[in-house]
Structure 1
Amino acid sequence: MTTRSVAHLPAGVIGNGSLLATLSRRGEIERLFWPHVDRGQHLGELRLGVVAGERTRWLDEEPFIHTQSYVDDAVILRTRAVDAELDVELVDLVLAERPVLARIVRPRKAGCRLVVYCRPELHESSRYGAAEALSGGRLVFYNNDVALALGVVRQARAVCGSTRGGEGSDVFATACTGRPEGEDIASGAVDGVLVCDLPEEAVLLAAFGRSREHALAELDSMLPVRGDALVRARATHDRERLGSAAPPEAADVGVAPLYRRSLLTFDVVADRDTGGVIAAPEMDREFERSGGYGFVWARDLAFCTLAFLASDREDLARRALRWLRAAQGRQGFWSQRHWTNGAVAPSWCRHQMDETGAALFVFEASFRELADEALDQELWPAAKRAARFLAAFTDPRTGLPGATHDLWEESEAEHAYTAAAVGAGLSAAAAMAERHEPAEAERFSLAGEEIRAAVERELWLEERGHYGRAFTTGANGDREAIDTGVDASLLGLAWPFAVAAPHSPRMRSTVAAIEEKLLRPHGGLARYEGDTYAGGNAWILTTLWLGLWYRQVGDEEGLARCVAFAQSHQTELGLLPEQVADDGRPAWVVPLTWSHAMLVLAVRPELTLIRERTRSHEAASAVQQA
């Protein structure tokens, strides 16, 4: 066992919606999730070394200098490791339809040997492991119903071993000499090594299965395949996926590569079996610096589904909508966050009702785009339960939705953004009711209108010239005071929910306050005044949110500035982070799915429901002026 420390932030991600891998800037596989993208992180270490002379040179260590890029528009990552003696190219990919990771190793220098060291943590644990070194140079590790088989597409030698009592690994120690020694079978905290000649190319395959036999069968079926064939197959698959999506319509054609990378990222983080989409590949499983990101939030999923609809990714949209239907709680609302299988995940608040409002909104948005009556019928029972709950979840003193946590998950109050999502969600439910149970429509429509009126009556701050963020509540639930802070989520009053007129003097004045208080010198928008989370930086998604409001009011130049900010602050691999530091560096979580969703929404035409809600305000304003 080595003393490897995995960074919080990966450089790249590859996967197929079932098997997900994150990689470091050094080309090291950091995490392997299977068979779902949110849990079952099965890797301790998977390291590659080259024997040149009398010792193993591990490719993820200094003095190697590393460069990385994705291969064209594909979920294939190329890493080049170079020092004074060696020049090695690594090409990493996951097979599109199989639980198999491929690592293609291509040295520029002949006469080397490849060393592969693996220390699994099946079921996220080193306990109860088993390992076997098999004929033909194959390794298989297994623990209950998860097995991982490794092999190289050429003749190899395999050994395995175990570590006990916190002692170091003899297998790893001998692997460092280039002459690994070990056993044919081991148990406990296990590891293993493969070694083979490396004349021009070696292909390492890592295959998962539900049993030792299944994993070995997956491995053996692919071992005859050459690396270039694997690359062509994955590239073809990704090209076809992109070809089925709508192209970007932004004026700046330079954003097209980022748009395509966003679509490919969706395929990596959207769970193929369940339809749940994680906020990001988990990078903080101990919750040391955050609450974790490898979960499904109904809010994030709603925005992602809007992006799926906007980009014609109907397959992802339908699966996401069905995930929402299945994950709904019995009371009618969605919990703070869930696992991809719909089970409630660890949380730190009772509820965030904006999520339930957003789910209703996206149900109706999907009908406007897909016109799928059967799907609409399928979603209606969930929509009715949610709308009935939200219609009753109102503070009679204010007319606003009752106290709940905000979308930033930091405070419980009666929030303006929650009111926007819930009000628009109830209006969406009323439209659905007209198609399914007209007797419910008036009730939901009236509830939505009352919330809209309450926003104008209770949250507009005349002396400050902007909407207030929330009514705070005391320990006994009594209203204490209005929170006058400026928050980027106030943009949600206009886009996408349009409970406030986007063009109105009040909304324009609110946006002016947001720009004054939250815009950073580099052009990014912070979340709110006094934010300290992970540095309190500007966020990609809030900046694009501002851009979407600009477009809503006809300011295409403003939209272009915000899209340009996202484009200029993507990572070197074309992924969008959660935040951007004041010095311009991408900061914190990479990739954040919501960031990519907002980018897609910003460079595709406005969705029908949002466009219609915006126009209804314009029409009402015209009537008033007449």
Structure 2
Amino acid sequence: MRGAVAAVLAVTLATAGAAGAGAARETRPPLYSAGVAGSAFGPGAFRVTLLPDASGSYLPGTSLLADAPLPGPGDLLPTGAYPVVPTTTPVDHAALADATRAWLGAGIIPGRTDAEREVATRALLDLALLTDPNGASVASPFGPWHLVWPRDASWHAAAFAATGHPDQARAVLRFLTRVQDDDGTWVSRYHPDGRPVRDGRARQLDAVGWVPWALWSWWRVAPPRNDSDAITRDTDALREFWPMLRRAADAAVGSLTDSGLPRPSSDYWEQPERRPTIGIAAPLLLGLRSAAALAGDLGEADAQRRWGAAATRLAAAIQQRFGATGYRRHPVRGAGPDSAVTFLAAPLARLDADADAVTAAVRRAEAELRMPSGGLRPGNIPRVGDVAWTPSTALFALAAAGRDDEESFTHWFTWLTEHRTGFGAFPEKVANDGAPASVAPLGWTSAIVLLALATRDGSLGAPPT
């Protein structure tokens, strides 16, 4: 994070390997990290990853551990608190706490009860610690998850916007703008310094939908411009992102085939595809609508018409092709369920003309994807494993909030909160015995939960259809 005093600990691969080797003999997937601690604000800001067996609690309204001192010059902190993290400058514990609480106080904590706001506070603080000042917002602070997925980062930016923190949202958007390729697309992952990860992994076309949506989400809450005699929308601030938006939206339009659906592309399952997937089609619909709305705000009438027409064509194709087979993963009979069906529900890429059928498909997917822990897996694919994934489960909480289904929202929200780590972090997965697994926190889940609460509070909008 910040300069020489940025003490960032990624748990070593040796530690991870030892944990994985011990867990390999068990049926339960391992937990690699239990949470994150530190402060994203104030002089001496730092981040450390908490090991699976770490214990302790946070100071209220912060991510600072209450039962361990902050690292000072030459200090080595005990195992189980902050792992060994030397710093070069003394850190003012009280100043960091005050800066963090001031940041929280400047925004909005969604939720109707103290318990809900406690969950939201921890999710928001986790997102803050996952986001560097340069806008690199990583999936999680551990090992191979310490990378920026444009999809995840877009959701992080939308969550920052929805909770009244437009500066953090704008920083994430600037990072995504810097790393975008000339053809308007993004690679699947980036290092926090902006270097693309070159590992042969296929590009995920959904980024050209998610990033414009994140930009629209930020623009809804962007600070106005205070001229001498009036307060107006600061279109100059939005204009900064116009080249990125134009490239992304044109890439989305260019991906549409004669059928009206996008070409096959890897999506959030991160595997090669031979057919269009709902996990690509829905985000592109959302992104084109967002881009058209933003173009209108900038007076770019030609772009607004072109992208709006493409969105209308894509929506019709989704309804015709995916709707004919029950909104499954692929637009063919016999295709399996996919948690991405929630992308077609409010508050995302709403298919208002077929809303009842989408709701029925969402409820059917809930039943089909249920795991022994009570959570939901992403879909029928071996590589995701037969365990629940918290981002997939959280998407159903978001869809429930979007259709004002309080009973369903409460069910999924409660399950998510009851399967956090001891530090209140959302893990990526939950084993069938209910134990947190993989890494924690997972920023995507934190963002989805925040947006679900904001939707339920009535403060989250959606781009015009």
Give the TM-score, by structure 2 length. 0.83
Aligned ranges 1:551-570 → 2 under 5 Å: 551-570=401-420
Shift of 1:495: 3.9
Match of 2:56 in 1: 68
Distance 2:440 2:310 in 1: 39
Aligned partner of residue 405 in structure 1, secondary structure: coil
Match of 2:344 in 1: 493
Distance 1:104 1:502 in 2: 58
Structure number having the greater helix percentage: 2
Match of 1:206 in 2: 86
Deviations 1:493-526 (A, max 9, x none): 1244324239722112201220220123543121
Match of 1:461 in 2: 324
Deviations 1:238-262 (A, max 9, x none): 2222212212223x42122222111
Distance 2:74 2:286 in 1: 44
Letter in 2 for 1:528: G
Aligned partner of residue 14 in structure 1, secondary structure: strand
Shifted more, 377-386 versus 410-419: the winner is 410-419
Letter in 1 for 2:255: F
Aligned partner of residue 138 in structure 2, secondary structure: coil
Shift of 1:608: 4.8
Distance 2:64 2:364 in 1: 43
Shift of 1:365: 2.2
The answer on 1:443 being equivalent to 2:306 is yes
Which of 14, 19, 31 lines up with 2:37 in the alignment? 14
Aligned ranges 1:210-289 → 2 under 5 Å: 218-219=88-89, 222=90, 230-250=92-112, 252-272=113-133, 274-283=134-143
Match of 1:513 in 2: 364
Shift of 1:237: 2.2
Match of 1:142 in 2: none
The answer on 1:540 being equivalent to 2:416 is no
Distance 2:154 2:147 in 1: 14
1:94–1:344: structure 2 CA closer, same or farther, 3 Å change rule?
Answer: farther
Match of 2:184 in 1: 332
Moved over 6 A (4+): none
Which stretches in structure 2 are left out of the alignment for 5+ residues? 1-12, 21-31, 223-232
Distance 1:428 1:556 in 2: 27
In 2, are the aligned partners of 1:502 and 1:553 still within 8 Å (CA)?
no
Aligned partner of residue 282 in structure 2, secondary structure: helix
1:487–1:236: structure 2 CA closer, same or farther, 3 Å change rule?
Answer: same
Deviations 1:478-507 (A, max 9, x none): xxx666110111111124432423972211
1:367–1:502: structure 2 CA closer, same or farther, 3 Å change rule?
Answer: farther
Identity %: 28
Structure number having the greater strand percentage: 1
Deviations 1:532-555 (A, max 9, x none): 43x431122222211111121121
- Pick the structure with greater CA Rg: 1
Distance 1:101 1:259 in 2: 35
Please tell me the root mean square deviation across aligned C-alpha atoms, in Å: 2.7
Distance 2:263 2:295 in 1: 24
Aligned ranges 1:300-311 → 2 under 5 Å: 300-311=152-163
Match of 2:265 in 1: 404
Shift of 1:25: 4.7
Deviations 1:595-620 (A, max 9, x none): 1111211222355542x64xx6xxxx
The answer on 1:426 being equivalent to 2:288 is yes
Shift of 1:282: 2.6
Shift of 1:300: 0.5
Shift of 1:357: 0.8
Aligned partner of residue 303 in structure 1, secondary structure: helix
Aligned ranges 1:600-615 → 2 under 5 Å: 600-604=450-454, 605-610=457-462, 613=464
1:522–1:332: structure 2 CA closer, same or farther, 3 Å change rule?
Answer: same
Letter in 2 for 1:420: A
Deviations 1:305-325 (A, max 9, x none): 111011112221110111122
1:428–1:345: structure 2 CA closer, same or farther, 3 Å change rule?
Answer: same
- The count of residues paired between Structure 1 and Structure 2 equals 419
In 1, are the aligned partners of 2:202 and 2:271 still within 8 Å (CA)?
no
1:14–1:433: structure 2 CA closer, same or farther, 3 Å change rule?
Answer: same
Which of 382, 385, 395 lines up with 2:244 in the alignment? 382
1:312–1:422: structure 2 CA closer, same or farther, 3 Å change rule?
Answer: same
Match of 2:225 in 1: none
Distance 1:349 1:237 in 2: 39
In 2, are the aligned partners of 1:495 and 1:502 still within 8 Å (CA)?
no
Deviations 1:93-149 (A, max 9, x none): 468xxxx796567xxxxxxxxxxx98xxxxxxxxxxxxxxxxxxxxxxxxxxxxxxx
In 2, are the aligned partners of 1:485 and 1:528 still within 8 Å (CA)?
yes
Deviations 1:375-410 (A, max 9, x none): 2111111111111122111221x2101111021112
Distance 2:411 2:59 in 1: 28
Distance 2:254 2:189 in 1: 22
Which stretches in structure 1 are left out of the alignment for 5+ residues? 28-66, 80-90, 106-116, 119-204, 208-217, 284-291, 472-480, 617-626
Match of 1:41 in 2: none
